[in-house]
Amino acid sequence: MKTNYEIRYAAHPEDAKHYDTQRIRRDFLMEKVFAPDEVNMIYSMYDRMIVGGALPVNEVLTLEAIDPLKASYFLTRREMGIFNVGGPGEVKAGGAVFTLDYKEALYLGSGDREVTFRSLDAARPAKFYFNSTTAHRNYPDRKVTKQDAIVAEMGSLEGSNHRCINKMLVSQVLPTCQLQMGMTELKPGSVWNTMPAHVHSRRMEAYFYFEVPEEHAVCHFMGQPEETRHLWMRGDQAVLSPEWSIHSAAATHNYTFIWGMGGENLDYGDQDFSEITDLK
């Protein structure tokens, strides 16, 4: 197996407005989340969130304690949320084994133990997407399915944004220190998410887009409401969203995305909205 990581530093919004396309992609986009028998991750200076993916095919992959953590185990001072976006697989955390099917999630609390990823069928390997934030105490590990989620149906087909927001690893479902994660599914014919756009200066966020057909793409919008930028993305890619940035997208096909947040509070509704007509 192979573990790859890189560190992404935080940007001031006054600096970011001068970035060109190459710099925006370099600083905010994670192009390679999955590669066979690899664990790939970004250690972000935005609330110290780690964003990554594990794709076990022929090997069992270990979640290694990368050097920036300065810890014996990855979860020594961290909590973690994992979504399986591939075939059936297993996550082993210490002595506990959790089987995850497609679109099922797992919360792992902090604590010294080894974590491994395994696919149950190499022909249909599991794809484990994860977010991790720092944690001040341990909360119990727990598997969460869509049946456990708090579901909010929003938007309309007429507005091209009919979607179901599955709040899965959130404080209303299970206790966490600061991590909040969920999955938004857009209905056929709808392409817009998170519109009207918002920021929440108390938290950063990461988006992972999937169920995007090979010949289609997602245009992710970021930046300050009065100084927006965009990123063209493919399926199975992730993007970092600073606390000062909007995070919204439109695509050439309906899709699904996983959102993860970390920061000062656990209030899902802590959002500062912008009028659509005020975006620039």
pLDDT in tens, 169-201: 999 999 999 999 999 999 999 999 999 998 988
Instruction: Please tell me the distance from the alpha carbon of residue 170 to that of residue 183, in angstroms, as a whole number.
Output: 11
How long a stretch of residues is the chain?
280
DSSP tally for the chain: helices H, then strands E: 2, 23
pLDDT in tens, 120-145: 999 999 999 999 999 999 999 999 99
> Percent of the chain, pLDDT > 90?
92
Q: Is 215 exposed, middle or buried (0-12, 13-18, 19+ CB in 10 A)?
A: exposed
Nearest CA among 280, 241, 255 for reference residue 28? 241
At residue 271 the predicted structure's pLDDT band, cuts being 50, 70 and 90, is confident
The pTM is what?
A: 0.97
Q: What is the predicted pLDDT for the residue at 273? A: 84
Q: What is the predicted pLDDT for the residue at 71? A: 97
**Measuring CA to CA, how many Å separate 74 from each of 84, 96, 111, 113, 165?**
19, 16, 9, 8, 29
pLDDT in tens, 54-111: 999 999 999 999 999 999 999 999 999 999 999 999 999 999 999 999 999 999 999 9
Q: Is 121 exposed, middle or buried (0-12, 13-18, 19+ CB in 10 A)?
A: exposed
Task: Provide the CA 63 distance to its chain's centre, in angstroms.
Answer: 17
**Measuring CA to CA, how many Å separate 248 from each of 34, 111, 232?**
23, 34, 12
